[in-house]
Chain A
Amino acid sequence: MGGVAWAELGALMLRHLYLAGVPLLVGLAVSLPLGWLASRVRWLGPPLIAGTGLMYTIPSLALFILLPLVLGTQILDDANVLVAMTIYAVALLTRTVADGFTSVPGHVRQAATAMGYGELRRVVAVDLPLAVPVVAAGLRVAAVSNVSMVSVAALIGVSQLGSLFTDGFNRNAMGPIVVGVMASVVLALLLDATIALLARLLTPWLRRGVPA
């Protein structure tokens, strides 16, 4: 298709999914405690959200190039891209997670406490599930932007769907570029739909029409 072999396209898509997807999971794992802290500790909230948000201002190509300085890695190392994408995910998700926890109604929290839930158990069993819709919305944004941003890593020689762009451009061939763009968009939409589906499965009460 477009001068790209199916096997090659599949391999590049898998690489792309790995480079964009793993940081999403790690980013979520980092943002959950950070966002909870930001929503919970009043004076810590604004600086934490602004501080992580600032990381998002760094252009992706600059971050890919700078991380070897910080991590001591080689420029071609996948780790640079994985860490950069994790940073962007944390930058987007910390605010969302904080918003999600803030969206839990106070009376629900009080009811859980009155039922004898300790702080940790309440956060995990009550606050977190109720925050799922807001967190999932942010995760979908982060997933889509990660998938489109990873392609820039082709400029530093890390292979994924973006490599089709550079190859096509160097050979003056439109085919591979168009195929790469379409594959990247499809991957973003698939990831987006998967997260939306998971969020739906995790919040059965929203489907029964019972207000949360």
Chain B
Amino acid sequence: MNALALTWEWLTDPASWTGAGGILAQSVAHLRYSFLALLAAALVAVPVGLWVGHTGRGRWLAVNAAGAVRAVPSLGVLFIAVLLLLPRLRGELAFELPALIVLVLLAVPPVLAGTYAGVQATDPAARDAARGMGMTGTQVLRLVEIPGAMPLIMSGLRAAMLQIIGTATIAAIVGLGGLGRFLIDGQASRDYGQMAGGAVVVALLALAVDIALAAVQRLVVSPGLTTAGPGR
């Protein structure tokens, strides 16, 4: 049987979808790890990015961190984290925690760079007008800079999420659950159908999450930033 038929057979077999290790359960696990990591990264990176953008301090770090992390191969970092932490942890956490830490670490720089760039890209005239109206620094940040930064914050979050979903996939090699299991286990047992079927599912999941975040972006970005005003 050829590879395409094997893949189709695996994907259409109800047994592949249900059960503890099925596609549905692993999709949920994959999404859970991914959103958890994105949330943790955003909780660190967004406030720091806003602070850097608002005060202009630490600009160098915000700009270069994203580029530097891009150069680091995530597979290598994953293995290093596991070898360092595994002897110190017990139980199921021993496999999950190192991978989750790496997911968060790799997601922080793109969110940080996006948030910083977003604040920087806020229309200076709007910022000056806000100050002229008597707004305090915090009010300028909350009412002008954050809404103005929203498009770039969201693109930072989307870039980070793609990185997280991809890295969570390869993290199956160190024992993390999720859709990567099918790719890694399928290869280990020379089951091409499972391997390629899992790859199809994870590609669709990544696409769906990106589209969902794009929809969120449309909701949270002020219409005043996307539609051309009378002055343009």
A contact residues vs B (CB 8 Å cutoff): 54, 56-63, 65-66, 68-69, 75, 141, 144-145, 147-149, 151-152, 154-156, 161-162, 165-166, 168-169, 172, 174, 177-178, 180-181, 184-185, 188-189, 192
A177 near B79: Cβ-Cβ < 8 Å: yes
Q: Which residue of A lies closest to B77 (CB)?
A: A181
CA distance A59 to B184 in the complex (A): 14
Residues of A within 8 A of B231 (CB): none
Give the nearest-CB partner of A146 in chain B.
B70
Give the CA-CA distance A54 to B211 in the complex, in Å. 9
Which label, helix, strand, loop or mixed, suits the secondary structure of the A interface? helix
- Enumerate 21 A-B pairs (CB-CB under 8 Å) in ascending A order: A57-B210, A65-B199, A69-B4, A69-B7, A145-B70, A147-B71, A147-B73, A151-B73, A151-B76, A152-B170, A154-B75, A155-B187, A165-B73, A165-B75, A166-B173, A168-B79, A177-B76, A181-B80, A184-B76, A188-B71, A192-B71
Q: Using Cβ atoms and an 8 Å threshold, which residues of chain B touch A61? A: 166, 169-170, 180, 183, 199
The answer, yes or no, to whether B219 is at the interface (CB within 8 Å) is no
With known contacts A69-B3, A155-B173, A177-B79, A58–B184 Cβ distance under 8 A: no
A210 to chain B, nearest CB (A): 27
B121: which A residues are within 8 A, CB to CB? none
Q: Considering the chains assembled together, what is the distance between the CA atoms of A184 and B74 in angstroms?
A: 11
Most chain B CB within a 10 A radius of its CB, from A60, A63, A65, A181? A65
**B107 CB within 8 Å of chain A:** no
Q: Which residues of A contact B76 (CB under 8 A)?
A: 151, 162, 165, 177, 180-181, 184
Tell whether, in the assembled complex, residue B73 and residue A141 are in contact, meaning their CB atoms are under 8 Å apart. Answer: no
**Closest Cβ–Cβ distance, residue B155 to chain A (whole Å):** 11
Complex interface residues of chain B between 162 and 221 (CB less than 8 A to chain A):
162, 165-166, 169-170, 173-174, 180, 183-184, 187, 192, 195-196, 198-200, 202-203, 206-207, 210
A154 to B169, CA, bound (A): 14
CB neighbours (8 Å) of B169 from chain A are 59, 61-62
Task: Give the residue among A62, A152, A155 with the most B Cβ atoms within 10 A.
Answer: A62
Q: Residues of B contacting A66 with CB < 8 Å?
A: 196, 199-200, 203
Query: Distance in Å from the Cβ of A159 to the closest Cβ of chain B?
Result: 14
